[in-house]
Amino acid sequence: MDRIMLIEDDSVIREELSILLQSNGYEIVLPDSFTAIFEAVRRYIPHLILLDINLPGQDGFQVCSKIRTFSAVPIIFVTARNTDMDELNGIMLGGDDFITKPYNTSILLARIASLFKRAYPSKEKDVMAYRGVILHLESSRVEYQAQLTELTKNELKILAFLFRNAGRIVPRADLVEYLWDNQLYIDDNALSVNMTRLREKLRQIGLTDFIQTKHRQGYMI
């Protein structure tokens, strides 16, 4: 499992971010104290570090350059200060990315995911499967019993979100929000249209009623 170390002095953010990242499939490790960061990095060997710039005692820039002396682990700076100087500083000292608070959580997750992809290319997961249906994310196709059909960008994202929440009811509002996070600005009506087309495509490869409509609640696979 991908291990992320959180170095953050605000206890509420630390807690909530841990929950969020854990529910997105990451393992979280925290240093015992801010004086023992380097020991913790050596001991836990995280795959990625989320580093706050404002830390008690020392700032994140110093921490980053010290970590760089013994490790090449990807580091994302997280800060409330959004000046270009800070960003430049962060990148110069060996940071891999820079995110400002308050962050859009979907952007944060996307940045983490893309950094993982960049740093550990072999771990790419571009296929999702559920009940014999295989979704190819890279080629934007869905496969069922050796039959393939092409999906549009919207349809692919809708299906990917349903796959990620397989077995659960997905409210329409959440689905729309997810599409917006992926820069597909679709309103309620357009979602219905896309849904109809998607179901038609699935029917053509022999999947009827794969996506169920839960009245007044949303969709479910």
Partner 1 sequence: MRYVDYVKDQIPCILTHIISMLGCLAFLSAARVNNGIIEILIAVWFLVAFVYLNTRYFFRNRYFKRLLSMLDHLDQKYLLSEVMDCPARADDQIYYAILKASNKSMLERVSQSGREKKEYREYIEQWIHDIKTPIAAMQLIYENNKSGLTKKLLIELEKIRNYTEQALYYARSDTVEKDYLVKEIVLSDAIHKAIAENKQLLLQSHAAVQMENCERIVYTDEKWISFIISQIISNAVKYSEEVPSLSFQAYSERSRVTLCIQDNGIGISESDLPRIFDKGFTGKNGRDSQNSTGIGLYLCNRLCEKLGIGITVTSKCGQGTSVGLDFPKGDFFEVRE
SS3 72: coil
The nearest distance, CB 22 to partner 1, in angstroms, is 10
The nearest distance, CB 31 to partner 1, in angstroms, is 19
Give whichever of 73 and 99 is closer to partner 1, judged by the CB atom. Answer: 99
Give whichever of 113 and 205 is closer to partner 1, judged by the CB atom. Answer: 113
**Distance between CA 5 and CA 24 in Å, rounded?**
15
**Distance between CA 137 and CA 147 in Å, rounded?**
16
The nearest distance, CB 30 to partner 1, in angstroms, is 15
Whether residue 116 contacts residue 48, with contact meaning beta carbons closer than 8 Å, is answered with yes
Taking the CA atoms of 177, 179, 183 and 187 in sequence, report the sign of the dihedral they define: negative
Q: Which helix (H) or strand (E) holds 196?
A: helix 188-204
Give whichever of 8 and 155 is closer to partner 1, judged by the CB atom. Answer: 8
Give whichever of 87 and 155 is closer to partner 1, judged by the CB atom. Answer: 87
SS3 75: strand
The nearest distance, CB 101 to partner 1, in angstroms, is 4
Give whichever of 30 and 73 is closer to partner 1, judged by the CB atom. Answer: 30
Structure tokens at 55: 């830390």
**Distance between CA 174 and CA 113 in Å, rounded?**
20
User: In the 8-state DSSP scheme, what is residue 217?
Assistant: T
Question: Which chain residues interact with partner 1 by CB under 8 A?
Answer: 10, 12-13, 16-17, 19-20, 23, 80-85, 87-88, 100-105, 107, 173-174, 176-177, 180-181, 183, 185, 187-188
Residues 6 or more apart whose Cβ sits within 8 Å of residue 69: none
The nearest distance, CB 81 to partner 1, in angstroms, is 5
The nearest distance, CB 145 to partner 1, in angstroms, is 36
Give whichever of 98 and 116 is closer to partner 1, judged by the CB atom. Answer: 98
Residue 116 has a CB neighbour count (10 Å cut-off) of: 18
